[in-house]
Structure 1
Amino acid sequence: MESKELVNLAAQACDEKRANDIVVLDMSDVSLIADYFLICEGSNERQVQAIARELKQQADEHGIDVKRMEGFDQARWILVDLNGVVCHIFHKDERHYYNLERLWGDADTVQIEGLGS
């Protein structure tokens, strides 16, 4: 699966669990880490974990290898590496503190169709 399709799948999975403020950054011209960063937030630890679980379940169902998942137990910032797409699922307080959108401000924002429907 191409990175563009993968980031769309990841965004839809996050949206399924009502993730807030889903932002996708095109990292291809900015960093070698990933093609895309997906950044979203949950309002509490349980929601953050539910978003991460849904993301992993959707990846498994589509035969996508989850290379790494970190931070699940604390559920303040869960990082899910889908090899080309890195998903950052924040608790709302941590998201504002780390402000990845500003840190990676040179990256273009990608619009994902059908979110929040």
Structure 2
Amino acid sequence: MNSNELMKRSIIACDDKRAEDIVGIDVEGISDIADYFVVCHGNSDKQVQAIAKNVKDEAEINGVLVKRLEGFNEARWILIDLGDVVVHVFHREERDYYNLERLYKDAPLITLTEDVN
């Protein structure tokens, strides 16, 4: 599975658990960390954990190695490292505070309704 398809599947996995304001950020050529970031948020600790677990499960079902999952127990900012795609699942307040989209404001954004379906 290429990084673009993995990013799209990650966005859909977030949406399946009703994540809010889901965006993919194309950071290829901007960041050495990954080709894409996926950023979303949930409104409770349990929802944030459910979103992250669904992304992890979807990746594993498709044979993608989850290299790292951090922050699951705290459920304020969970990072799921899938290699070329890094998924950031925030609790609403933390997302507003860290505002990753602002850091990569020049990078193309991919949204669920426009570019994934």
TM exceeding 0.5? yes
Cα RMSD (Å) of the superposition? Answer: 0.8
Kindly report structure 1 stretches of 4+ aligned residues shifted beyond 6 Å.
none
The aligned length equals: 114
Deviation at 1:29, TM superposition (A): 2.2
**Residue pairs, 1:1-117, within 5 angstroms:** 1-111=1-111, 112-114=115-117
Q: Which one has a larger percent helix, Structure 1 or Structure 2? A: 2
Task: Work out the CA distance in 1 between the residues paired with 2:37 and 2:106.
Answer: 13
Does the residue aligned with 1:79 lie in a helix, a strand or coil?
strand
The 10-residue stretch of structure 1 (71-80 or 54-63) with the greater mean CA deviation from structure 2: 54-63
Task: Extract unaligned runs of 5+ from structure 2.
Answer: none
The two structures have a TM-score, normalised by structure 2, of 0.94
Judge conservation of contact 1:26–1:110 (CA < 8 Å) in 2: yes
Structure 1: runs of 5+ lacking an equivalent: none
Alignment-mate amino acid for residue 25 of structure 1: I
CA positional deviation for 1:64: 0.6
Aligned identity (percent) is 53
